A and B are shown apart, each in its own frame.
Chain A
Amino acid sequence: MSELLRRFRFALCYLALAALCALGMASRHGPAELGFAPKLVLDLTLPLERMVTLPISELRGVWDDYAALVGVRVENERLRDRLARAEEENHQYREAILSSERFQKLSGFRAQREVPMVPANVIHQDLSPWFQSLIIDQGAAAGIRPGMPVITDSGVVGLIAGTTPGASKVLLVVDPQSRIDAYVERTRARGTVRGTSGHDCDFDYVLRQENIEEGDLLLTSGLGTTYPKGLVVGRVATVDRKKSGLFLGAKVVPAVDFSRLEEVFVILEQRQIPGEDAFSSADEGLWPAAPGAAGAAAAARAAAKPQVAAKAAAKPAPKPLPKLVKPAPAPLPDHPQDPPE
């Protein structure tokens, strides 16, 4: 027996290690705290890697700042032209924002607090060309938790995939594991932005009849628990209207240049979707009572409950619920943020 084990030691060892790897891959369920071994590997290798890659990054910076400036005059002219147009658009946006703020105040929907954020430096880029992730120098000690969104002033960077006390792994928008529910700012057409492991993303599940064009801006829809609404994801690069099928194909260029990313912000807020038990039943109204202003309404409903129950008991048979009538949609005004033709 021992002779047999000795003879097939290599094969048995390979099978055992391969099974461990398969188990590791199969048991992966989304972002989570990193275990002891990954933390140890990160702590040991990151300082070394930082030491080696820092000069390369600096050299690239020197190259980009001084040597690669051929054709900058033409680009300057083009940018001046774009700036003039952008200023005009900006003026319109400001007007639109003021209108929107007034509307939000009237509706009582405006958020009254600032979103807490933590700035962090990028200290590592993904080793593999297949996956797109970063490691930043802030971790669980700064309040960062897996699943929190990461942004820059340009737009969405990704989400926290794992944390150690002093560092966090960020899964980028362009990683094949990344999915973001987004909509086109101009037409409100919705779809899912999916990473492709390259420099761009796919915009999936957009109906063929939707009106989207090259250059359209994509924003996060706010659905789900990760990204707040209205963050810039990128711009539509190409649109492929296929001859058949429900959906069209589109490529998206992310708003953030990940190869030159140095600082990011982590939004320290994890949005939560209320569970089934948070929604009240039909006799309690359609929506759960919010604390604060709506508390009085909830108390009133609770006080009225025995009367409702008594009335229901007195009646021989319950009346059927009235049918909900969907109001006819009001005509939409022209989009205030559309740039002039």
Chain B
Amino acid sequence: MSALLRLLGIGLALLLAQAVARLALPVVVQPDLVLVYALALGLRGGVQGLVLAFGAGYVEDVLCGGPPGLFALLCGTACATTRLLDRALYLRAAAPWASYVGAYALANFALFGAAQRMFAPDTAIAWSELLRRAPGAAITSALCAAPLLHLFRRLLVDADRDGSWPVLATQSPRGRP
């Protein structure tokens, strides 16, 4: 329970940090902190992480003017993809994790465009605009990824010790006994 509350707190803090970044940074270099949160939840695995990722996306949906469910779907997909790839790739050190987040942030732009065209085609943003913003946002998201993972570990290590939830970022599910 303690881990769940801490994760909720981290999610809320990242949402607020994203609101601050939106005010303080130019649009082409704004990191997608909620996406990084969803990706990190994928490392934890489990249905609770998935629900939290969808929930974070849903809150972003409510706080922005997009079609309801778009960011929830993207965050949930990010979480599920990380869980899937965590079995094949080593994502639990700073450099691979940052690279993965950067690459996924780029892919997320493509998913965003595709989802818009599929579910809300009349409001879709032009591919050229997506391409213009993708590189900067992917780089800043990647730069934020490693410190955020470290923060996750620090905040959750106590809660994880009591076994209430699988340990984050110490070993992949493949390596567990």
Which listed segment binds B: A49-57, A75-83, A106-114, A144-152? Answer: A49-57
Contact between A17 and B27, CB atoms less than 8 A apart: no
Set B19, B30, B65: member contacting A52, Cβ < 8 A: B19
Contact between B20 and A52, CB atoms less than 8 A apart: yes
Q: Would A130 and B69 be within 8 Å (CB), given that A10-B83, A14-B80, A57-B23 are in contact?
A: no
Contact between B120 and A175, CB atoms less than 8 A apart: no
Set B12, B50, B69, B124: member contacting A22, Cβ < 8 A: B69
Q: Which 4 residue pairs of A and B lie closest in terms of their CB atoms, listed nearest first?
A: A133-B65, A24-B69, A21-B69, A25-B119
Contact between B50 and A53, CB atoms less than 8 A apart: no
Query: A25-B68, A56-B24, A177-B120 are known contacts; what are 11 more A-B pairs with Cβ within 8 Å?
Result: A10-B45, A14-B50, A18-B76, A37-B62, A41-B59, A42-B63, A45-B15, A53-B20, A128-B66, A129-B137, A172-B65
Give how many A-B residue pairs fall within 8 Å (CB-CB): 140
Please give, as numbers and ranges, the residues of chain A lying within 8 Å of B50 by CB-CB distance.
10, 13-14, 17
**Does B67 make an interface contact (CB < 8 A)?**
yes
**Does B104 make an interface contact (CB < 8 A)?**
no
Which listed segment binds B: A119-127, A225-233, A248-256, A331-339? Answer: A119-127
**Does A165 make an interface contact (CB < 8 A)?**
no
Q: Residues of B with Cβ closer than 8 Å to A? A: 12, 15-16, 18-20, 22-24, 27, 30, 34, 45-47, 50-51, 54, 57-60, 62-73, 76-77, 80, 83, 112, 115, 119-120, 122-126, 129, 133, 137
Contact between B120 and A25, CB atoms less than 8 A apart: yes
Quick one: CB contact mask for A13-53 with B, threshold 8 Å, 1 for yes? 11001101111111010000010011001100100110011
Q: Would A128 and B67 be within 8 Å (CB), given that A38-B62, A45-B59, A49-B16 are in contact?
A: no
Q: Residues of A with Cβ closer than 8 Å to B? A: 9-10, 13-14, 17-18, 20-26, 28, 34, 37-38, 41-42, 45, 48-49, 52-53, 56-57, 60, 124-133, 135, 161, 169, 171-172, 175-177, 196-198
Contact between B16 and A10, CB atoms less than 8 A apart: no
Look across to chain A and name the residue whose beta carbon is closest to the beta carbon of B72.
A21
| Assembly CA distance A196 to B67 (angstroms) | 15
Contact between B112 and A130, CB atoms less than 8 A apart: yes
Secondary structure at chain B's binding surface: helix, strand, loop or mixed? helix
| Assembly CA distance A176 to B116 (angstroms) | 11
Look across to chain B and name the residue whose beta carbon is closest to the beta carbon of A179.
B122
Contact between B120 and A13, CB atoms less than 8 A apart: no
Please give, as numbers and ranges, the residues of chain B lying within 8 Å of A38 by CB-CB distance.
62, 68
| Assembly CA distance A131 to B66 (angstroms) | 6
Please give, as numbers and ranges, the residues of chain B lying within 8 Å of A169 by CB-CB distance.
65
Please give, as numbers and ranges, the residues of chain B lying within 8 Å of A49 by CB-CB distance.
15-16, 19, 63
Please give, as numbers and ranges, the residues of chain B lying within 8 Å of A17 by CB-CB distance.
50-51, 54, 72, 76
Contact between B60 and A127, CB atoms less than 8 A apart: yes
Please give, as numbers and ranges, the residues of chain A lying within 8 Å of B112 by CB-CB distance.
130
Contact between B23 and A125, CB atoms less than 8 A apart: yes
Q: Would A176 and B16 be within 8 Å (CB), given that A14-B76, A57-B23 are in contact?
A: no
- Could you list 15 examples of A-B contacts with CB < 8 Å? A21-B72, A24-B67, A25-B115, A25-B120, A41-B59, A52-B20, A53-B20, A126-B65, A128-B65, A129-B22, A129-B30, A132-B65, A133-B65, A135-B63, A177-B123
Contact between B72 and A127, CB atoms less than 8 A apart: no
Contact between A21 and B76, CB atoms less than 8 A apart: yes
Please give, as numbers and ranges, the residues of chain B lying within 8 Å of A60 by CB-CB distance.
23-24
